[in-house]
Structure 1
Amino acid sequence: MHSLRFATSLTSALRIQRALRPASHSFRRTVVTKLYTTDHEVIKFDDETGVGTVSITEYAQKSLGDVVFVELPEKGVTIKQGEPVGAVESVKAASDIYAPVSGDVVRINEELEDQPSLLNKSPEDDGWLFQLELSKREELKGLLSEDAYKKHCES
């Protein structure tokens, strides 16, 4: 009788332990690479999704001054590396936005239409420009690391 109670208690305890355990998730390691162009664009590329988020750099926004208008590529268009795909206008200058890599635009930051100043407040985060699905990942190899970009800006 005691061994039956012990077995029942043990089985109940194991059920409770399993119920309290966090659900098992399959974790994948995602590599996000941040690379720069000599034209002051930055792309954060997610290796798992194949999507890159394009922004202007902190250096570029400081050079431009207060941003008053942003022209972005249309969602769904195919762009080629090095092509002008939009523009940023500020109180003191206008500058083209160039595609850091080739791909299809899958999303644009619509908030910039009403709040172009997001580029000044947070150019690489809230002020991102657009996202694209890369068609030629090998083009990433021709972009600059953060250290190389800093040296480029200092020269």
Structure 2
Amino acid sequence: MSELRYTQDHEWIRVDGDTAVVGISSHAEKALGDVVFVELPEVGRKLDRGEPFGTVESVKAVSELFAPASGEVIAVNEELSSSPELVNEDPTGDGWFIKLKPFDSGALKELMDQAAYDAFLKDAE
């Protein structure tokens, strides 16, 4: 499993073989509060980098989700339908949203690694 890369919108992406797994950061999950509903795209949908692909609703707000890379949705986390709290419990693990394939691996170089993301969050304070 490779490292997470982050967007300025607080999504993360992790390459797992020839698939990219996408979710939201721990920072975003904490800012949202208790997640009560997640709307995800249909399998087979083609996404462009930066395109909205769903929403996450919490007790505080509804936030759009944006694709950190281009690709075709090959899986969605069905468990989130009945257990949206997984996003809060394990945002970078079991709380993932979608899997993409194929994707633009070049786009990953433009995303932040953990150190850069931490600095981005600190600058935003």
Q: TM-score range by the shorter chain?
A: over 0.9
The CA deviation at 1:34 is 1.7
Q: Which one has a larger percent helix, Structure 1 or Structure 2?
A: 1
Q: Percent identity?
A: 46
Residue 41 (1) aligns with residue 7 (2): no
Larger Rg: 1
Aligned partner of 1:122 among 90, 94, 105? 90
Q: Is the 8 A contact 2:48 2:71 kept in 1?
A: yes
1:16-46: per-residue Cα shift (whole Å, max 9, x none)?
Answer: xxxxxxxxxxxxxxx6232111100011112
The CA deviation at 1:135 is 3.0
2:119 is aligned to 151
Structure with the larger RCO, 1 or 2 (CA within 8 Å, 6+ apart):
2
2:33 is aligned to 65
1:39-72: per-residue Cα shift (whole Å, max 9, x none)?
Answer: 00011112xx321110100000000000011011
Alpha-carbon distance between aligned partners in 2 of 1:86 and 1:153, rounded to the nearest angstrom: 23
Q: Is the 8 A contact 1:101 1:134 kept in 2?
A: no
Which residues of structure 2 form unaligned runs of 5+? none
The CA deviation at 1:82 is 0.3
Under a length normalisation based on structure 1, what TM-score does the superposition of the two structures give? 0.77
The CA deviation at 1:102 is 0.1
CA RMSD, Structure 1 to Structure 2 (Å): 1.0
State the aligned residue count. Answer: 123
The CA deviation at 1:154 is 1.0
SS of 1:85's equivalent in the other structure is: strand
Deviating beyond 3 angstroms after TM superposition, the runs of 4 or more aligned structure 1 residues are none
Under a length normalisation based on structure 2, what TM-score does the superposition of the two structures give? 0.94
1:32 is aligned to 2
